[in-house]
Amino acid sequence: MASWDWEVFCKDTATSEVMAGCLGAGGKDITYLQWMMSAWGWTMSVALLALLVALLLGTLMGVLRTTPVKGLVWLGNAWTELFRNIPLLVQVFLWYHVLPALVPPLKDLPSFVLVVLALGLFTSARIAEQVKAGIQSLPKGQRYAGLALGLTLPQTYRYVLLPMALRIVIPPLTSESMNIVKNSSVAFAVSIAELTMFAMQAQEETSRGIEIYLAVSLLYFISAFSINRVALFIERRVQVPGLIGGGK
Amino acid sequence: MIHLPLARLLAVAAAALLATGAAQADTLKKIKDSASITLGARESSGALAFTLGDGKYVGFHTEMAQRIAEDLRKQLGLPKLEVKFQAVTSQNRVPLVQNGTVDLECGSTTNNAARQKDVAFAMTTYVEEVRIAVKANSGITSINQLNGKTVATTTGTTSVQTLRKHERSAGVDFKEVFGKDHADSFLLLESGRADAFVMDGQILAGNISKAKHPADFKIVGEVLSVEPIACMLRKDDPAFKKAVDDSIKGMVKSGELAKLYDKWFMQPIPPANTKVGLPASDATKAAWANPNDKPMEDYAKK
């Protein structure tokens, strides 16, 4: 059982012959290693684009939920509950199978776009919740002080509340960003050639499941951990001495 | 010295692992001593092996495995043999057979050279042919007409590699979409997202039989790949393999296996009481006539 066969990654994906230098000729002649790297690229593309969608929409919705305008609060709450209470995989299927049946133009969108939207909106609900919590953790006096100084409501958010609230929520946002890398594995269900699909397919073709899954696990780990390091770097760079989370 | 007990524990665990790894597999003794056998069962492998839920496993190969267990009971002279089922997936079936969790796995496992390094196979009892399913009105009759079309297949199956090989050797170029399971791939064909669904013939026939309008679909074109499907067991256990093989040969001789085939592939089967309607192929009949455990690579040479 403990006999490893790492050479499997150097095999051509059609002929199963071990290629010299572990690389195929390119085009359609690729090895499992090249396929895995391309799969890693898909995983990161889905994850990073979805993260962008999630951060933009999540922050917006989180802010809306703390405004004094009832309609906006309702919108933010409805958004959060809608995307938070449906399982991610179900949402992906809704985007892929159900919505295109109701809205025919969606059929022409590549599944990549649909899965980025599905994953981004799902995560935006979680980010909205964290941003809202960040803003609410500030003393009420901050908001009143901003308004009393004659700032408009948007200005109060821009110059008083958000600079502090966003710094406070960096740690939970880091977790969310790492989650999105791992959650991007649902994209395999709608035919994105990402790491999880590679693992399922390559282990079947090569019968070397343990080696394949170990390598894929390592790539997920590296990806999530890099995001963690980047977030830590950002957290250090933006910290303000004396503020919450500002360090010594 | 806090580390010492931990180190000792690890050493003991390592020794135990090595011991089990080195021991000669003797499944017959294990079955006799425990008066039980654990069969690996698939949950969704078409009429070959599937589940009705509630821990109930049925299908051509599942029922065949139960008959093999009954023959083993007779051979070992046991008054009673408990037959346990362990659900397996294509990801975990080989390790579970290797580590002894499962004694015999009869589902939809292809006997190929790569797997023979890790496990042994019983006599081939079903020969799978990879085919193409299309909409009946599509006019497609051959793989070469799929140039530029979208082809669906299921992630984690050998059909994906078959398609890739074909694409490279025949110089056709198609867009592939991958369903996460067979039902999903069939949905891609049904909803028009794909023009064809390339998969094991019996899976295609089973899915078509369960469709809303079975007449809308048909199986066309050449056989893209031939794969012997056989029960999987531990390597280096000749006594157990012989017992299983003898049981299979007995069923072939008595006509029991052909009857089982008829029951699962030609008659209405649960849960929907639909017929797969796939008569035994010449390749399957040939495997029954000359019992053998040749891997898939030997079929490709012909």
Would the CATH topology of B24-127+228-296 be identical to that of B129-227? yes
Identify how many contiguous H helices and E strands chain A contains and give both numbers. 11, 0
Query: CA distances (Å), A30 to each of A26, A36, A206, B177, in order?
Result: 6, 10, 14, 19
Residue A101's pLDDT band (cuts 50, 70, 90): confident
Separation CA A167–CA A154 (nearest Å): 18
Cα–Cα distances in Å, from B95 out to A38, B74, B221? 28, 29, 36
Residue B19 confidence (pLDDT) = 46
- Looking at the predicted structure, is the pLDDT value of residue A1 above 60? no
d(CA B218, CA B207): 11
CB-based contacts of B175, cutoff 8 Å, min separation 6 = B148, B149, B150, B151
Burial class (CB in 10 A: 0-12, 13-18, 19+), B259: exposed
Q: Of B6 and A237, which is predicted with more confidence? A: A237
Q: How many CB atoms lie within 10 A of CB A243?
A: 12
Please tell me if residue B177 touches chain A, with a CB cutoff of 8 Å: yes
Find the helix packing angle between A70-84 and A32-64, rounded to 10°.
150
Q: Which of A1, A193, A205 sits opposite B158 (nearest CB)?
A: A205
Q: Looking at beta carbons, which residues of chain B come within 8 Å of A200?
A: 91, 155-156
State in words which class domain B24-127+228-296 has. Answer: alpha beta
Residue in the structure block whose two tokens are 């901003």: A146
Mean pLDDT of chain B: 89
Question: What's the pLDDT at B21?
Answer: 46
Q: Does B271 sit behind a cis peptide bond, omega within 30 degrees of 0 on the bond before it?
A: yes
- Kind of pairing between the strands at B119-135 and B150-154: unpaired
Residue-wise pLDDT for B77-123, tens only, equals 999 999 999 999 888 899 999 999 999 999 999 999 989 988 999 99
Closest CA to A230 of A51, A10, A75, A66: A51
Task: Report the interhelical angle of B60-76 vs B27-34 (nearest 10°).
Answer: 80
Domain A6-238 has CATH 3.40.50.300: no
Q: Average of pLDDT values for B210-238?
A: 93
* Average pLDDT rounded to a whole number, residues B248-253: 96
Rounded to the nearest angstrom, the minimum Cα separation between A45 and chain B is: 19
Contact between A64 and A76 under an 8 Å Cβ cutoff? The reply is: yes
* A209 contacts B155? CB cut-off 8 A: no
Position A117 scores a pLDDT of 96
pLDDT (mean) for B195-211: 93
State the nearest Cα–Cα gap between B75 and chain A, in angstroms. Answer: 30
Interface with A, mutate which of B180, B185, B227, B296 (most A CBs under 10 A): B180
Q: In this structure, are residues B265 and B60 in contact, taking their beta carbons and an 8 Å threshold?
A: yes
Q: How many CB atoms lie within 10 A of CB B150?
A: 16
Which of B155, B158, B191 should be substituted to probe chain A, the one whose Cβ sees the most A Cβ atoms within 10 Å?
B155
Q: Cα B149 from chain centroid?
A: 29
Strand-pair category, B196-200 with B150-154: parallel
Residue A231, pLDDT score: 95
What is chain B's alpha carbon radius of gyration, rounded to the nearest angstrom?
A: 21
pLDDT for A17 equals 86
pLDDT 10s digits, B1-58: 344 455 555 554 554 444 444 445 799 999 999 999 999 999 988 899 999 999 999 9
* pLDDT score of B300: 77
**Distance of alpha carbon B173 from alpha carbon B224, whole angstroms:** 16
Domain B129-227: CATH superfamily, name plus number: Periplasmic binding protein-like II (3.40.190.10)
Predicted pLDDT of residue B18: 47
Q: Are A131 and A58 in contact (CB under 8 A)?
A: yes
Distance in Å, alpha carbon of B203 to nearest chain A alpha carbon: 17
What are the sequence ranges of the domains in chain B? 24-127+228-296, 129-227
Longest Cα separation, chain A = 74
Instruction: Let me know how long chain B is.
Output: 302
- The predicted pLDDT at position A248 comes to 46
- Provide the Cα torsion B120, B125, B131, B137; round to 10°: -150
B91, A209 in Cβ contact below 8 A?
yes
Q: Which residues from A are below 8 Å from B193, CB to CB? A: 107
The pLDDT-based confidence of A124 (bands split at 50, 70, 90) is very high
Among candidate residues B107, B28, B109, B100, the one with its CA nearest the CA of residue B63: B107
What is the CB-side half-sphere exposure of residue A154 using CA atoms within 13 A? 1
Q: Which of B160, B174, B177, B297 to mutate to test the interface with A (most CBs of A within 10 A)?
A: B160
> Which residues of chain A neighbour B157 with C-beta distances below 8 Å?
204
Q: Is the dihedral of CA A32, A33, A36, A42 positive or negative?
A: negative
For the ranges A134-148, B42-56, B156-170, the lowest mean pLDDT is seen at: B156-170
Of A37-46, B246-255, B271-280, the poorest mean pLDDT is in B271-280
Q: Are the Cβ atoms of A1 and B99 closer than 8 angstroms?
A: yes
Domain boundaries, chain A: 6-238
> Do the Cβ atoms of A204 and B165 come within 8 Å?
no
Output the average pLDDT for chain A: 92
Give the pTM.
Answer: 0.82
Q: What residues of chain A lie within 8 A of the CB of B176, using their CB?
A: 191
Q: What pLDDT, on a 0 to 100 scale, did the predictor assign at position A19? A: 87
| B126 confidence band (pLDDT: 50, 70, 90) | very high
Indicate yes or no: CB of B161 within 8 angstroms of CB of A205: yes
- Beta bridge partner(s), residue B225: B130
Over residues B52-74, mean pLDDT: 96
pLDDT in tens, A52-96: 999 999 999 999 999 999 999 999 999 999 999 999 999 999 999
Taking 3-state DSSP, the helix, strand and coil percentages for chain A, each rounded to the nearest 5, stand at: 75, 0, 20
What pairs with residue B51 in β-bridges? B57
- In whole angstroms, what is the distance from residue B125 CA to residue B287 CA? 7
Q: How do residues A148-207 score in pLDDT, each as one tens digit?
A: 999 999 999 999 999 999 999 999 999 999 999 999 999 998 889 999 999 999 988 888
